[in-house]
Structure 1
Amino acid sequence: MSEPRETKNIDRYGDPEMPWSRAEQALSAPPAKENTYFLGTCRADGTPHSAGIGPQWLDGLLYFTSNPTTRKSRDLAVNPRCTISARLPGIDLVLDGSAERMTDAGTLERLAQGYRDGGWPAQVEGDALTAPYSAPSAGPPPWQVFRFTFHQVVGVATEEPYGATRWRF
């Protein structure tokens, strides 16, 4: 992902604009137990849906997995626009963008290796990932991989230096 084309300070308390590097550093840091990510999608009838995900940052983008029968996968098949909300050390982020299924073998293997490095024994099988287990809500394997491309990110610092910033890409 490139640098933002627009940055706007949205802090109401006089704190300075935050650099994109602060958000990017939080997104690219190794996963921690306290990190929380939620994917927001929209059902065909327009009602919202939210589900926890375990994404991975790779080459400036977020990737996540989903069983094809889950609500999030069915929603994304109809409407790829979605959000990811993240609570990360020192900063909360809301990323607006879209998700598309990723089937490139090289990318899948790099992601599987990243998951293995983090303790989840993922393997590439065909154009998806498998493993002996996953989150209880994930459904059975295989898990398709989605690449999330964000167009706008809002960050609110939860540690000093404080601030709130919107970045558009």
Structure 2
Amino acid sequence: MTEPTSTRNLDQYGAPEVPWSFPRDLLATKTAGTDLTFFIGTVRPGGRPHSAGVGAVWVDDALYFKSGPATRRARNLSANPACTASVRLPGIDLVLEGDAHRVTDSATLERVAAVYRSGGWPATVEGDALTAPFTAPSAGPPPWHLYRLTLHTAFGVGGAEQAGATRWDFAH
């Protein structure tokens, strides 16, 4: 399991640190079957930011998302893998920072495609990419490349159930 190497309480109102297990367990249980939009932030070659909504899934303790090879997101990631993934989960807003790299091994592609299928998107593996009869228009035409986010840092701001604000750092 991906565990933080350090945790810092950012809450200024006295709430305790939010344990990493809270957002991690939500990612593991909510990303496949819940209608969540993740926003992937990348850096354009000139340094300007770019953000786009994507469907993402948490598989084997990592975040995976897809993108057409001609999209701005994919072109940015090929030049600079640094990115963010932001999402509002039940009870906590979460920002994940790290590096995203394309996944091409068939075992991982098959495992992630199965999770996408369990959530209602009929993904299949074709060569070293994913395909399906449909996807979000922002993904571009098939086939879609799969990316894995390697976590460096995460920030969470909890709501009523898990109040607090916390930063988690991860070894990379």
Paired residue type of 1:5: T
Deviations along 1:19-56, one digit per CA (max 9) or x if unpaired, are: 110111111113312x2310000000100000001111
Identity across matched positions, percent: 58
Q: Kindly indicate whether the alpha-carbon contact (under 8 Å) linking 2:40 and 2:54 is maintained by their aligned counterparts in 1.
A: yes
Partner of 1:64: 65
Work out whether residues 56 and 63 of structure 1, in 8 Å CA contact, stay in contact via their aligned partners in 2: yes
CA RMSD of aligned residues (A): 0.9
3-state DSSP of counterpart to 1:110 = helix
Paired with 2:110 and 2:16, the residues of 1 have a C-alpha distance of: 40
1:84 and 2:85 are equivalent in the alignment: yes
Runs of 4+ in 1 over 6 A off after TM superposition: none
For residue 124 of structure 1, what is the aligned residue in structure 2?
A: 125
Q: Does 2:22 align with 1:38?
A: no
Q: Which residues of structure 1 form unaligned runs of 5+?
A: none
In the TM superposition, residue 136 of structure 1 has moved relative to its aligned partner by: 1.5
Q: Distance in 2 between matches of 1:4 and 1:24?
A: 11
Structure 2 unpaired stretches of 5+: none
TM-score, scaled to structure 2? 0.95
AA in 1 matched with 2:17? E
Q: TM-score, normalised by structure 1?
A: 0.96
Whole-angstrom CA distance in 1 between matches of 2:151 and 2:93? 15
Q: Contact 2:37–2:56 (CA<8 Å) still a contact in 1?
A: no
